[in-house]
Chain A
Amino acid sequence: MSKVWKFVTKDPEFASLIVTTLLVTGVLYVLLGDRVFSPLGVSSMAIQLAEFGFLALGMGLAMLTGGIDLSVAAAAGLAGLMGALVMSGSVIPVTETNQTFIMVLGVVATLGTGVATGAINGFLIAKVSVPPILATLGTMILFTGLGMAITGGNTISIVVPEFSALFAGTMISVFPLMFLVLIAMFIGVAFFLSRTMAGRRVYLFGENEIALRFSGVRSERTIMMTYLLIGLLIGFAALLIIARANSMRIGYGQGYLLQAILVVVLAGFNPFGGKGRVSSIFVGLILLQLLGTSITAFGLTPYHRNLMYGLILLIVMGLNFFVNRPSRRKKPPAIGGIAPSTEAIILSDQRTTS
């Protein structure tokens, strides 16, 4: 019991997130039962969760550095479009024999475009010092514009049938392949962030960029690498998006921005950077997916859904604010060699204004 209590006091946000998720699961199980929790329901939720999970993980990484990535959905759209274009047969004619080759090429094009979008964001933020919000706002418009210019707003259909079957149809017990890829990515990113030097630097950058730079770390490389990683995650999301629809059209997934931010804030990430754990994002994803599915099951409209998401975001931000306040008071900002953390600076703001 003491172990549980220690866990709860160490990270109250994560603990309350888990409790909330379990409660919501329980309530929904009682209310909806087999309609949602059948093997079919679970696997359909898993594939929806996977598609969105990659984007949310990318958003989380951006937020760890104190930034934000507004371009996730647009970048995924462009990456998916490139893949779909390769596999549409309009660039290289698809014959009986070269299908596997085209499919591999399509996957490479999708992932490659994803990484390229990350590289553009990383370049703007690290090398030109554009604030992440504005850089990704610009690339969001640019990526959408590029996709619109290439397609003229038309839908690009994929003519390689194996692609969709492989990425959206493959099931390992009740879980779709891409869901397992998502879990692997989560484990990989969690390992990277907590066990490698480069990963710890991501947190340090979010905590105090200047201190990181003065410790002799090339902080620009840290940012570049973070956004490349986000680009790769976007590439995976794009693969799943085009595999599910078997086609691509620009403008897809505009509503994901609110959701991605919601999950990451729900997971206890500090939008000013330096704080947050990847496993919480996963729990947050499950919670949000359950809520989203139940909204559909109860027959409510997308307006209800958005209202609920917005309210949850406001409530969670309020709770985080009040939960974090006393603990900040206990720990005064460090004096001496260590610069005060972002939180300490915010705290000092509050003291002076209130």
Chain B
Amino acid sequence: MLKKSPFRMLFNRAMNPMERLLSIVIVLYIAFVSIRNPLFFGPQALFDIMSTGAGLMILALGALIVLISGGIDVSFAAIAVVASYTAARLSMVLEIDNLFFILAVAIAVGAALGSINAVLVHVYRLPTLIVTLATASVFHGLMAITLGMKTFTQTDVPQSMIDFGRWYIWTIENEDGSRITLSGFVVITLGVMALTWFLLYRTRIGRSVFAVGSNEESASRIGINIFATRLFIYSYVGMLSALMGVMYWSRLYYINPDILYGFIELSIIAAVVIGGAKLTGGEGTILGALLGLIVYQLFTNTLVYLGLSPSWSQLFFGSVLIGMLMVIYYRQRQANKKALVFSTV
């Protein structure tokens, strides 16, 4: 009798090979950094990575859902900026300094922009990358010419957003009076992860996301409404992006619509891909996306502990990405050869 591993007890499935490989990479890297620099193994680095990673993880969940459905969405960062900027501006103009109002407006805008993506992707039947690349620049451009690109500093940002950004669930006082804090965003991210898991694995619409991703034709023949599924996928991604946008500005205490869009989307997608989500669709796990994002966060935030400049981070991240891609797809290639599957698409 095999004893159940803790992993199996928690997730009710075996760890897939990619997740195992990635976990080994992460553990080895953490061990290496801790040996080189014991400072790393304290709450400071951990809390930093978790607090900044919380928002990115929400984006990664969005990217994951789209990848599972067999597409690539590069417009989520643009939606995050447009939705949260619109909401913040509206709150400033109407002088409604209420976090729930800002979040509601942002999420509504995000859902609307996401649905536009869904309609275009469904109508054009073109690669989602191209469609969303176009819509991203349209969304951002329309915002720029209608609302402007004004930057707001701490004095102008709605107080409710600043309070939101200062929501800590764990504060450790050092002897010298400095404080190490863990942002409450981690709770939100855990909630969103649970919600996404529930939607993907426990609801009909979530199962149809997998079905559309693995074979759209078959999915449509067994009676799945492809358009409704796409509408769900892209509007959900839009809502997640909007939530992340509000969280992002809240933590920074200022609003600059020129950052975020055009800088992080491809890294986030890459992180999810590292986690084993396949472009061929139908595959991908939330745990994999989380591990991929941890790798990304480790390389972008902890190189200083090794005495390396941050300019090395992309090289490391890129190398791990290429390595993982080679492992994933070489295995599939060998399997395909054995099964006499010739299509690589």
Which positions in A face B, CB cutoff 8 Å? 66, 68, 70, 124, 128-131, 133-135, 137-146, 148-149, 151-153, 209-210, 213-214, 254-255, 257-258, 261-262, 265, 271-272, 301, 303-304, 306-311, 313-314, 317-318, 321, 346, 348-350, 352-353
A312 — nearest CB in chain B belongs to which residue?
A: B134
Q: List 8 A-B contacts (CB under 8 A).
A: A129-B333, A129-B336, A130-B325, A145-B313, A145-B314, A149-B312, A309-B137, A321-B126
A213 touches B135 (CB 8 A): no
B312 touches A145 (CB 8 A): yes
- From A128, A133, A317, A350, B329 is in contact (CB under 8 Å) with A128
- From B120, B217, B343, A314 is in contact (CB under 8 Å) with B120
Residue B152 lies at the interface, judged by CB distance under 8 Å to chain A: no
- From A129, A137, A141, B344 is in contact (CB under 8 Å) with A129
A314 — nearest CB in chain B belongs to which residue?
A: B134
CB distance from A117 to the nearest CB of B (A): 13
A317 touches B318 (CB 8 A): no
Residue B10 lies at the interface, judged by CB distance under 8 Å to chain A: no
CB distance from A141 to the nearest CB of B (A): 4
Q: For residue A143, which residues in chain B have a CB less than 8 angstroms away from its CB?
A: 318
A214 — nearest CB in chain B belongs to which residue?
A: B342
B317 touches A145 (CB 8 A): yes
Q: How far is the CA of A139 from the CA of B317 in the complex (A)?
A: 11
Contact residue range for chain B? 35 or more
A271 touches B126 (CB 8 A): yes
B134 — nearest CB in chain A belongs to which residue?
A: A313
A303 touches B329 (CB 8 A): no
CB distance from B131 to the nearest CB of A (A): 7
Residue B141 lies at the interface, judged by CB distance under 8 Å to chain A: yes
Q: How far is the CA of A271 from the CA of B131 in the complex (A)?
A: 11
Q: For residue B127, which residues in chain A have a CB less than 8 angstroms away from its CB?
A: 68, 133, 271-272
Q: For residue A353, which residues in chain B have a CB less than 8 angstroms away from its CB?
A: 220, 226-227
* Residues from 132 to 161 in B contacting A, C-beta threshold 8 Å: 133-138, 140-142, 144-145, 149
* Residues from 286 to 324 in B contacting A, C-beta threshold 8 Å: 309, 311-319, 321-322
A317 touches B131 (CB 8 A): yes
Residue B43 lies at the interface, judged by CB distance under 8 Å to chain A: no
Q: How far is the CA of A318 from the CA of B144 in the complex (A)?
A: 24
Given the interface pairs A144-B314, A261-B130, the reply to whether A349 lies near B217 with Cβ below 8 Å is yes
B321 touches A142 (CB 8 A): yes
CB distance from B226 to the nearest CB of A (A): 6
Q: How far is the CA of A198 from the CA of B309 in the complex (A)?
A: 46
CB distance from A59 to the nearest CB of B (A): 11
- From A309, A311, A352, B220 is in contact (CB under 8 Å) with A352
- From A129, A137, A307, B332 is in contact (CB under 8 Å) with A129
Q: How far is the CA of A68 from the CA of B133 in the complex (A)?
A: 13
5 shortest interchain CB distances as A-B pairs: A307-B141, A145-B314, A142-B318, A145-B315, A310-B137
Given the interface pairs A307-B138, A310-B134, A317-B124, the reply to whether A137 lies near B314 with Cβ below 8 Å is no
B217 touches A352 (CB 8 A): yes
Residue B109 lies at the interface, judged by CB distance under 8 Å to chain A: no
Interface 9-mer from B21-29, B54-62, B262-270:
B262-270
Q: What's the count of A-B pairs with C-beta under 8 Å?
A: 170
CB distance from A151 to the nearest CB of B (A): 8
A352 touches B134 (CB 8 A): no
Given the interface pairs A130-B325, A142-B322, A149-B311, the reply to whether A304 lies near B145 with Cβ below 8 Å is yes
B336 — nearest CB in chain A belongs to which residue?
A: A129
Given the interface pairs A141-B266, A254-B262, A314-B135, the reply to whether A303 lies near B140 with Cβ below 8 Å is yes
Given the interface pairs A129-B332, A310-B135, A313-B134, the reply to whether A213 lies near B145 with Cβ below 8 Å is no
Q: How far is the CA of A301 from the CA of B144 in the complex (A)?
A: 10
Q: For residue B72, which residues in chain A have a CB less than 8 angstroms away from its CB?
A: 133
Q: For residue A134, which residues in chain B have a CB less than 8 angstroms away from its CB?
A: 273, 279, 325
B266 touches A137 (CB 8 A): yes
Q: For residue A145, which residues in chain B have a CB less than 8 angstroms away from its CB?
A: 312-319
CB distance from B265 to the nearest CB of A (A): 11
A311 touches B138 (CB 8 A): yes
B226 touches A148 (CB 8 A): no
A209 touches B344 (CB 8 A): yes
B273 touches A257 (CB 8 A): no
Given the interface pairs A128-B330, A349-B125, the reply to whether A138 lies near B135 with Cβ below 8 Å is no
A347 — nearest CB in chain B belongs to which residue?
A: B125
Q: For residue A209, which residues in chain B have a CB less than 8 angstroms away from its CB?
A: 343-345
Q: For residue A309, which residues in chain B have a CB less than 8 angstroms away from its CB?
A: 134, 137
Given the interface pairs A261-B133, A313-B134, A353-B220, the reply to whether A321 lies near B326 with Cβ below 8 Å is no
CB distance from B312 to the nearest CB of A (A): 5
CB distance from A310 to the nearest CB of B (A): 4
Beyond the given pairs A138-B318, A307-B137, A317-B134, 12 more chain A to chain B contacts, judged by CB atoms under 8 angstroms and listed by A's residue number, are: A70-B266, A134-B325, A143-B318, A210-B342, A213-B342, A303-B144, A303-B149, A304-B141, A310-B136, A310-B138, A311-B138, A314-B135
CB distance from B240 to the nearest CB of A (A): 21
Q: For residue B129, which residues in chain A have a CB less than 8 angstroms away from its CB?
A: 68, 133
Q: How far is the CA of A134 from the CA of B328 in the complex (A)?
A: 12
Q: For residue A318, which residues in chain B have a CB less than 8 angstroms away from its CB?
A: 123-124
Residue B221 lies at the interface, judged by CB distance under 8 Å to chain A: yes
